[in-house]
Structure 1
Amino acid sequence: MSTDHHVSDPAAPPPRGARLDAWQQRLERLAARARPWSWLWPPVAFAAGAGSFFLVERQQWLGAMLALAMLLAWVLLLSESLIGRLLSRRGYPTLPRGVTTFIAQMIHQETLFFTLPFLLATTVWTSGQAMFTLLMLGMAILSILDPLYYRLADRHRWLYFAFHAQCVFLVVLVALPTLLHLTTTQSLLLALAAMVLFSLPSLMHLLRPMTRGRWLAMLALLPLLAGAGWAGRLWVPPASLWLSGRALSPSFDEQARAPEGGVRLTPEALVDHGLYAYTAIHAPRGLREDVVHEWRHEGKLVDRIPLVIKGGREAGYRAWTHKQNFPEAVLGNWRVDVMTAGGQRIGVLRFRVSETAERATLADGRIQAPPGLPGLDLRRLIARPAESPAPDSEKDTPPATPREDGAGTP
């Protein structure tokens, strides 16, 4: 009587399920080793974001590489989620939720702390943009508070996915202008589309169980969400544009591209000289952007004068408009909003017109640095790369076309 014996071949490769299980155990061990050091990740991400912000002109390739690394991290996170679902459907082991949540937390921290320097620098703090940036700062703080973050991930899944969608919005908004030289409006539209797409899991969790009526409700909510995001664009800082200088003056030296002279802004002075609004707008190299000077009197739009700027100049692209035709009721508070073509505020110049010289704003042509990170001019701490001397008045970089209201020609 003979019996058959099965002898395994030691050289044969292990079953696919065993290999996947081994990879899962390695990732779990790696996550366990990384947890004690996870507190280092937020400051590292913030330093990377600040480095990308301050080096975007002198070492643009480095800023682009940092932004690309952040996008690749998001691709890996999304791939992990899709691959995990495919493996689960085929009966293969998947990573525990604790491990996947830890990985997602690291990606969220990277995104939020990387983009914070851009938001802090480009926010107009006297506008609604301050609320948006403070909200993002609050999300960054939440991402490092493990008890709150994991409670959000475990108990409030729809809110957790909304948190995720907002992080996707930020990474697209900040990274694309540097990587692809897209305008802020193009980047904003793509960021809104990505946010709406990644809001689907949040809406599906919120509307569970998904019936036919709730599916229809979700499909109706998506365009409403996109419309609300577009309507709130004024509150979103243009993460790739900021003012590096601003000034008001009664005259202008176009050869030197600098404001000059000084006068108190009384009605008589405006009739005699008009008023120049000068702005130096910083933009990434290779970016061509349409901007607008919106002249407002007591909050009411009076003139809207378009300009075109080009990125690449470290001190900012110099653009100016000259207003001569002021209304008869000129007294009161004025401001010049510097806007993108898509409706995001880059900066603002404020002045007051009064019959009393003491109460009227002094337009003295002094170029003032805006508050915040750009005003600190930390780029002076970074060594300049060797470069050839610029031609006189930097004529290799043509100025933005100045416009005069009522003139109709540059």
Structure 2
Amino acid sequence: MSPNRPPEPAGRTDPGTPAGASRLGVWEARIERLTEKIRPWSWLWPPVAFLAGAGSFFLVERQQWLGAMLALGMLLTWCLLLSESLIGRFLSRRGYPTLPRGVTTFIAQMVHQETLFFTLPFLLATTVWTSGQAIFTLAMVGLAILSVLDPLYYRLAEQKRSLYFAFHAQCVFLVVLVSLPTLLHLTTGQSLLLALAATVIFSLPSLMHLLRPMTVRRWLLMLALLPLLAGIAWAGRIWVPPASLWISGSALSPAFDVESRTPQGSLQLTPDALSRQGLYAYTAIHAPRGLREEVVHEWRHKGELIDRIPLEIQGGRAEGYRAWTHKRNFPEDSTGRWRIDVMTASGQRIGVLRFNVATDADSATRADGHISSPPGLPGLNIRGLIADPESQPSAESQNNVDQRSRPSEKGNS
């Protein structure tokens, strides 16, 4: 071929190619031309995806169907990406032309950026920043930054294939975790299980790449590694934010007005005061409309679990579903640091309430019934844009949206 001769246009096929290959080649040429036109503007895609995710996050409350449509669009995009490699192999085995590697990598990069930036608003708003969840969310922020740094991303895609497949599996985990509670009203535990299952399945290419060439022994090793990875992932679920749940307001108080569903009174938390009056823990928990979820108040003293009180919440209320527990039976020596972990039934932390019990009233926490929002990103209260923990529901909704724990020997009422 002469060096001055222009390259063969995409879509041109040899006479021996199957019927229809030429038409397919024309479409692939169009996709390549469109890709080249999009490349200079690809820097716009991450902020657009982030805004789409934020829009979906807020629209779930105000226009649930529109937020669900945005989440559904995310899942459809992933289905196209996941089927691309299978379709490419199917076509190449039958002699049909396929898209160049650079084009498919660029498309995959766009989808990864869409996934990471779309899910970031959900993670940023639901992360308990005083726990290990902060590490997980910051790691996802790091992956999002990696996806926009072309030199690093393409080096990962071309030279570090096992890490690239792991990166891909993590993106699958995020899109399933965030989308399913909104679309199908699955609980956070159900969504987490499906997300972990999808991650294990899509980690197969990474393991196969690491263990090449695949022998019988290495196949057996891979089959042994898969349940191990699944077990490790499940054990680390407490580090994963419940992307559809968060506490919009919380308070500690010595009394509670059941009619208005508000904490009342003020008390210095000394051992004598607790033994006389007990303590109410109030939480307003936000959940998507239509979602029913079991949550748990875990009362811990110096890290030791003392009481575990389950509650059932229902989603759909902008101020959060108000739930409370009343602990009356405290240990004989109740001094020291206490915390109340608000957990999902599957073991993901939604929030934490902390207080200190001391014989010296000046050193003890003051439970004054003030409803406060949990800390988010410094200077940016994402949750506050949706939920106002101080506001009250209409009278007609109060009988349906609030719950308290039932009496038991544990001292809750």
TM-score under structure 2 length normalisation: 0.92
Q: CA deviation at 1:375?
A: 5.8
Which residue matches 2:100? 96
Q: Distance in 2 between matches of 1:285 and 1:207?
A: 45
Which residue matches 2:346? 342
Q: Distance in 2 between matches of 1:90 and 1:123?
A: 48
CA contact (8 A) 2:267 2:367 kept: yes
Which residue matches 2:263? 259
How much identity, in percent, do the aligned residues show?
A: 73
CA contact (8 A) 2:329 2:410 kept: no
Q: Distance in 1 between matches of 2:283 and 2:107?
A: 43
Q: Distance in 1 between matches of 2:98 and 2:87?
A: 9
Q: 2:402 aligns with which of 396, 399, 402?
A: 399
Q: 1:379 aligns with which of 362, 383, 386?
A: 386
CA deviation string 1:303-337 (max 9, x = no partner): 00000000000000000000000001100000000
Does residue 55 in structure 1 map to residue 59 in structure 2? yes
> Aligned AA for 2:57?
F
Q: 2:276 aligns with which of 272, 275, 278?
A: 272
CA deviation string 1:56-82 (max 9, x = no partner): 111111110110000000011112111
Q: 2:199 aligns with which of 195, 199, 217?
A: 195
Q: 1:237 aligns with which of 218, 241, 261?
A: 241
Q: Distance in 1 between matches of 2:375 and 2:74?
A: 28
> Aligned AA for 2:92?
S
Which residue matches 2:146? 142
Residue aligned with 2:130, SS: coil
Distance 1:320 1:375, change over 3 A: farther
Which residue matches 2:222? 218
Distance 1:81 1:260, change over 3 A: same
Q: CA deviation at 1:85?
A: 0.8
CA contact (8 A) 1:321 1:404 kept: no
Q: 2:287 aligns with which of 251, 265, 283?
A: 283
Q: Distance in 2 between matches of 1:95 and 1:39?
A: 22
Which of 370-379 and 248-257 deviates more? 370-379
Q: Distance in 2 between matches of 1:404 and 1:304?
A: 13
What is the total number of aligned residue pairs between the two structures? Answer: 390
Distance 1:92 1:108, change over 3 A: same
Q: CA deviation at 1:394?
A: 2.7
Q: CA deviation at 1:395?
A: 2.5
Distance 1:398 1:376, change over 3 A: closer
CA contact (8 A) 2:248 2:387 kept: no
Q: Distance in 2 between matches of 1:29 and 1:70?
A: 24
Residue aligned with 2:297, SS: strand
> Aligned AA for 1:402?
S
Q: 1:177 aligns with which of 161, 176, 181?
A: 181
Structure 1: tracts of 5 or more residues without a match: 1-13, 382-388
Q: Distance in 2 between matches of 1:109 and 1:316?
A: 31
Does residue 316 in structure 1 map to residue 320 in structure 2? yes
CA contact (8 A) 2:405 2:412 kept: no
Q: CA deviation at 1:148?
A: 0.1
CA contact (8 A) 1:255 1:393 kept: no
CA contact (8 A) 1:323 1:404 kept: no
CA deviation string 1:348-373 (max 9, x = no partner): 00000001111100100000011126
Q: CA deviation at 1:401?
A: 3.1
> Aligned AA for 1:310?
Q
Which residue matches 1:64? 68
Q: Distance in 2 between matches of 1:106 and 1:68?
A: 17
Q: 1:83 aligns with which of 73, 84, 87?
A: 87
Residue aligned with 1:357, SS: coil
Which residue matches 2:4? none
> Aligned AA for 1:394?
S
- Runs (4+) of structure 1 exceeding 4 A deviation are 373-376, 407-410
Structure 2: tracts of 5 or more residues without a match: 1-17
Residue aligned with 2:24, SS: helix
Q: CA deviation at 1:54?
A: 1.6
Q: Distance in 2 between matches of 1:79 and 1:375?
A: 35
Q: 2:170 aligns with which of 166, 181, 184?
A: 166
> Aligned AA for 1:392?
A
CA contact (8 A) 2:309 2:405 kept: no
CA contact (8 A) 1:320 1:403 kept: no
> Aligned AA for 2:395?
D
Q: CA deviation at 1:186?
A: 0.1
Does residue 327 in structure 1 map to residue 331 in structure 2? yes
Q: Distance in 2 between matches of 1:195 and 1:407?
A: 39
Q: Distance in 1 between matches of 2:125 and 2:393?
A: 27
Distance 1:135 1:375, change over 3 A: closer
Q: CA deviation at 1:114?
A: 0.4
> Aligned AA for 1:63?
G
Q: How does 1:24-39 map to 2 (within 5 A)?
A: 24-39=28-43
CA contact (8 A) 1:323 1:405 kept: no
> Aligned AA for 1:40?
L
Q: Distance in 2 between matches of 1:246 and 1:55?
A: 24
Aligned CA RMSD, in angstroms, stands at 1.7
Residue aligned with 1:303, SS: strand
Does residue 351 in structure 1 map to residue 358 in structure 2? no
Q: Distance in 2 between matches of 1:288 and 1:263?
A: 34
CA contact (8 A) 2:252 2:280 kept: yes
Distance 1:407 1:164, change over 3 A: closer
